[in-house]
Amino acid sequence: MSAPIAAATPDARGTQAEHGLGHPHHSDGLLKLAVGAVGIVFGDIGTSPLYAFRETFAGHHKLALDPMHIMGVLSLMFWSMMIVVSIKYVAIIMRADNKGEGGSLALLALVSGRTRSRRWTAGIILLGVFATSLFYGDSMITPAVTVLGAVEGLAIAAPAFSPLVLPIAVVILVALFWVQKNGTARIGLVFGPIMLVYFATIAVLGILSVVQTPEVLGAFSPHHAIRFFAHDPVRAFLALGSVVLAVTGAEALYADMGHFGRRPIGLSWLCFVLPALMCNYLGQGALLFREGRAALESPFYMLAPDSLQLPLVILATMAAIIASQAVISGAFSVTQQAIQLGYMPRLRIEHTSASTAGQIYIPLINWMLMAMVILLVLFFRTSSNLTSAYGIAVTGAMFIDSCLLGVALLRLWNWPVYAAAPLLGLFFLVDGAYFTANLTKVPDGGWFPLMIGLIVFTLLTTWSKGRALMMARLREAAMPLKVFITSASSSASRVPGTAVFMTSTADGVPHALLHNLKHNKVLHERVILLTVKVVEQPYWPADQRADEQAIGEGFYRVVLRYGFMEEVDVPAALKRVHTCGADFKMMDTSFFLSRQTLLPSERPGMMLWREKLFSWMLRNAESAMEFFRLPTNRVVELGSQVEI
């Protein structure tokens, strides 16, 4: 029984710091968190130099290797990072946090909660869900392109190993997904130092190259980008499809904000990561100035002397693994949020750390991602081919983030239109240009993330719509509680103990209670009608978790509220409830669950194929017993049939 979305009441919303639920950045030092952010947040954007600059000249839309095109591309990359990452994400979007949490679903929950009465709320929700769907396509391509791009350096450092590039990449990826079940807490301790060494290395290599060709420093001027478009507008537009690879991973800054905080991420980006990336890109541009197409095979690796290329391959591969790990962990986190917000059926979630709530492992997502990543590597075979599929999901999500940002500026922060319009116009222009340019990649592989996004979008919306219809049908058939209590209390025998009936609605009589009385003809001395609600904020104060209401005749209504980043633990929550008669003892408590079987119906609802899809998802959902952490020897499950 997935928990429905519930709006949080304003008076019950406390900050996480006030209720002991704060993120690490409330207590850890700014510098320590900034270093940690370098290791986790910037892996994706940090590995872009492996392929981004090369693809603008050697990709599907090749550019001439002359000063105008080199300077134009460098200028586009710099100003893209400034506009998209520094201004849009770091300076503005990261201020739109949902109680400290970021990401498309967190922003969607924040925005939709404030615009619930407006006619276009449904459109906003669909946009946010589609952005989440695109993330899954991105989470498949990122490990494939980063690991393959790093391992391809073997062909540069040791040409004899060229035939082994593909097998080594596959082995690394299989090992990466295999270790997920053990958790990443210990591995995460070394992420920061490795990425610090990586960024410092690529910065030094870039500076050594720039010193030999200092004229590339002129690329900081935007007139080179403008000149590129003026002289060669078609190729400049097509080049945007590769230039955007330099900012892939920018959305991770916002998604991981809850782990580190806005200030540490902004500090590490502006003071360390951005300078390191630009030094390397400028160094690659300077190398092409000097050596032309001879260096185009891999300008990233050719920045290093021959004797250092193999160590650079090892370092870049480690950085690629870290970037992939961040995306995989992100997929687990997004999936958990989607389950809690009612867009996905229950899945088995394993907790890999006793001290860190965010350390989770979802087996189904892990193995599905691994299978798709391996297929991508074997099908596309080179990072250059994979970059054709890369970018559409990222730019689509960025464009949707701009739409949600528009709502935030105008409705949450009440910016005047004259102040918000120029900024939003700039973001829509940039994001729209990148997304449109990436659409030209659809025939060459861009269809893959779009296909994955549409499949996931269909699954998410089908589950959400199906649950809404099913709950509506259950409410229609529900008996008024007062009538039931009056009749049942006088006719049924009472037995010792406590019965907890899980119900998705906070009114009416649960079907499991009706079936239990029908077949067993008894009522427990204490009957708890329990509803779990997930609110549209990341965390809910633990001391305000439960709302209790005595109904009479030994019946109680209890509502447990959780934030969408929290894990539901019903027995632990009930132990804190002291106003429903005696305290709860699990050995004297039985939990009754209802499992619905869907029947085809001519009633208006969803198309037949979507009803069948929803029915299949419902049958394969994780047991509510495990999802709510109910004791296995205290659960009774009763079936019921529902028409939708």
pTM assigned to the model: 0.81
Confidence (pLDDT) at 31: 79
Same domain, 404 and 485: no
pLDDT-derived band at 28, boundaries 50, 70, 90: low
State the sign of the Cα–Cα–Cα–Cα dihedral 420, 396, 83, 401. positive
Residue-wise pLDDT for 101-127, tens only, equals 777 777 777 777 655 555 566 778 888
Confidence (pLDDT) at 472: 81
Place of tokens 């030994």: 554
Distance CA 357, CA 329 (A): 13
Nearest to 545 by CA among 535, 536, 553: 535
The more confidently predicted of residues 435 and 293 is 435
Same domain, 388 and 509: no
Confidence (pLDDT) at 560: 93
Same domain, 267 and 202: yes
Confidence (pLDDT) at 24: 42
139 with 153: CB under 8 angstroms? no
Range with top average pLDDT, 402-416, 455-469, 491-505? 455-469
Structure tokens at 579: 């106003």
Question: In the listed set 416, 434, 465, which residue is the last one of a domain according to the structure?
Answer: 465
Same domain, 540 and 400: no
pLDDT-derived band at 58, boundaries 50, 70, 90: confident
Same domain, 461 and 590: no
Same domain, 429 and 490: no
Same domain, 522 and 423: no
Same domain, 443 and 524: no
Residue 470 lies in a domain: no
Nearest to 222 by CA among 360, 112, 78: 78
Residue 560 lies in a domain: yes
Question: In the listed set 465, 499, 532, which residue is the last one of a domain according to the structure?
Answer: 465
Same domain, 13 and 138: yes
CATH code of the domain covering residue 402: 1.20.1740.10
Distance CA 135, CA 505 (A): 31
Residue-wise pLDDT for 574-584, tens only, equals 999 888 888 88
Distance CA 398, CA 432 (A): 9
- Say what angle helices 30-40 and 185-212 make with each other, to 10 degrees: 80
- How far lies 34's CA from each of 41, 81, 88, 273, in Å? 10, 19, 19, 11
Residue 474 lies in a domain: no
Confidence (pLDDT) at 7: 31
Nearest to 437 by CA among 141, 142, 133, 234: 234
451, pLDDT greater than 50:
yes
Residue 198 lies in a domain: yes
Same domain, 99 and 225: yes
Same domain, 406 and 517: no
Return the bridge partners of 550, or none: 556
Structure tokens at 310: 């193999």
When pLDDT is averaged across residues 15-38 and rounded to a whole number, the result is 56
Distance CA 95, CA 158 (A): 47
Total domains in the fold of the chain: 2
11, pLDDT greater than 70:
no
Least confident residue range of 12-16, 23-27, 557-561: 12-16
Q: Which amino acid is at 243?
A: V
Residue 536 lies in a domain: yes
Question: In the listed set 465, 493, 525, which residue is the last one of a domain according to the structure?
Answer: 465
Residue 295 lies in a domain: yes
Distance CA 326, CA 388 (A): 22
Residue 594 lies in a domain: yes
Percent helix, strand, coil in the chain (nearest 5)? 65, 10, 25
23, pLDDT greater than 50:
no
pLDDT-derived band at 12, boundaries 50, 70, 90: very low
Mean pLDDT of the chain: 84
- Give the domain range for residue 180: 5-465
Confidence (pLDDT) at 25: 44
pLDDT-derived band at 186, boundaries 50, 70, 90: low
Confidence (pLDDT) at 316: 93
Q: Is 381 helix (H, G, I), strand (E, B) or coil?
A: coil
Same domain, 421 and 494: no
Residue 248 lies in a domain: yes
Residues 6+ apart with CB under 8 A from 463: 342, 343, 344, 345, 614, 617
395 with 435: CB under 8 angstroms? yes
Nearest to 177 by CA among 292, 314, 327: 327
